[in-house]
Amino acid sequence: RSSDRPSSDGPLNIINASTIAGYVDLAETVICMHGGTSDSYNLIHRGTRVRKMHSSRRDAFRTISDVPLGIIDANQQVTFLKDDVKRRGDMADMWVDTKIDPKVAMLYFYPGMDQDMLHSVIDNDYHGVIFISTGLGHVNTDMYPALERAQEEEIPICIVVEPLWGFTNLRVYETGRDMLARGIFEGANMLPCAAYAKMIWTLGHTRDVKEVEKIMTTNIAGEITDRELNKGYMIMQGVEPGLDDMLKLVDENPREHRWGI
C-alpha cells in the first residue's frame, strides 16, 4: 500500500526484507511481505513458488502448493519453516548468467479458444510457448492442428495448470495423451510465471527441443516440488467455526502459533 497512507505496509516490509538480504544466512530469491493484516510478522516466500493472490490486502502474497520458507517478526527474529533452505556460499563462486530468449508466449486456454491464436504465435516467430490449461493440463481438440504445426517447427510447448494448485497429468484422459503425442510436455506444478521465466532462460541456452524439455522438467530453484502438502493448499474457506479466533491468535503471536500460517 502507498507509503502516504496510515495503513501502509511498506515500513515493516522494507525493514524485514533488508534484514534478510543483509544478515540472514539465505541464498535464494525470495519475497518478504506481510503474513497477516497487522504489523506483527512477515512471511518469507520462495520466489519460484509465490503468487500475489489479492489486489489490495496486506497479506496478498501466498506460497502455492507448499509452505513459506520462513517467518520474520517485528523484532527481525527469523524462524525457518522448511529444511531445504539454500545457504550462502563463497561469493567468489557466484556469477550472473544473463543469456535469455524473450521470444516466449504465454497463452491462457479458455472454452472456445481458436487455434489461430497459437498459429499467430508461430507466425510471429516465437521460440517457445507456456500454455496455461484447464484441469490436469488440457486444451480442446480444435487446437490439435496448431499443436502439430508447432511440433513440426520444433517450437517447445510447456503445459501448466490454470488452477495454480496441483500438478499436470496428461496421462489420465485421452485428450492429454493426444497432446503428448503432439509434442506437448508437462510443467509439473510450476506456476505460470515461473515457467515463463524458466523457458526464456532455457531458450537463451539451447533451442534443441529435447534439451529444452529436459531442463524445463528438472527442478532448479524450487519451482517444481516432489509433492503437494495438504497444509500447502487453501485449507480454510472462511466459514469454519472458530476461524476468526484462530486468526486473531496467529496475528497476535505468530511465532507461538505458526501452525496457523
According to the model, what pLDDT value does residue 6 have?
65
27 and 78, same structural domain? yes
The reported pLDDT for the residue numbered 4 is 64
Q: Using CB atoms within 10 A of its CB, is residue 180 exposed (0-12), middle (13-18) or buried (19+)?
A: middle
Confidence at residue 259, expressed as pLDDT on a 0 to 100 scale:
44
Residue range 95-114: mean pLDDT, rounded: 96
**Biggest alpha carbon–alpha carbon distance for the chain:** 58
User: Are 58 and 122 in a shared domain?
Assistant: no
**Chain centroid to CA 184:** 20
pLDDT at 257: 54
Residue 258 has pLDDT above 60, yes or no: no
Give the rounded percent of residues in the chain with a pLDDT score beyond 70: 92
Average pLDDT, rounded, for the chain: 91
Give residue 260's pLDDT band: very low, low, confident or very high (50, 70, 90): very low
**2 domain-assigned:** no
Task: Indicate whether 208 and 242 sit together in one domain.
Answer: no
Q: How distant, in Å, are the alpha carbons of 88, 211, 228 from that of 153? A: 42, 15, 35
For residues 82 and 17, membership in a common domain is answered with yes
What band does 254 get if pLDDT is binned at 50, 70 and 90? low
pLDDT band at 10 (very low <50, low <70, confident <90, very high): confident
Which residues are within 8 A (CB) of 126 and not within 5 positions of it... i.e. 6 or more apart?
Answer: 103, 104, 105, 155
**What integer is the mean pLDDT of 222-249?**
79
CB 76 within 8 Å of CB 32: no
Residue 52: which CATH number? 3.40.50.1170
End-to-end CA distance of the chain: 22
Place 143 in a pLDDT band, splitting at 50, 70 and 90.
very high
25-62 residue pLDDT tens: 999 999 999 998 888 899 999 999 999 999 988 899 99
Report the number of distinct structural domains present in the chain: 2
Return the CATH number at 110.
3.40.50.40
Any domain includes 19 = yes
pLDDT score, position 214:
99
Res. 256: pLDDT tops 80: no
Tell me, what's the pLDDT at 148?
98
Say which residues have a Cβ less than 8 Å from residue 43's Cβ, sequence separation at least 6.
Answer: 32, 33, 34, 35, 61, 63, 68, 70, 71, 72, 261
Least confident of 190-194, 223-227, 235-239: 235-239
Residue 95 maps to a domain? no
* Confidence label for 92 from pLDDT (cuts 50, 70 and 90): confident
Residue 81 covered by a domain: yes
Specify whether 113 is located in the same domain as 211.
Answer: yes
- The pLDDT tens digits of the residues spanning 149-199 come to 999 999 999 999 999 999 999 999 999 999 999 999 999 999 999 999 999
What pLDDT score does 239 carry?
A: 72
Query: Would 201 be classed as within a structural domain?
Result: yes
**167 vs 154: CA distance, rounded Å:** 25
121 vs 25: CA distance, rounded Å: 43
Task: Report if residue 58 sits inside a domain.
Answer: yes
Q: Which domain holds residue 173?
A: 104-216
- The answer to whether residues 207 and 151 belong to one domain is yes
Q: Mean per-residue pLDDT for 8-14?
A: 88
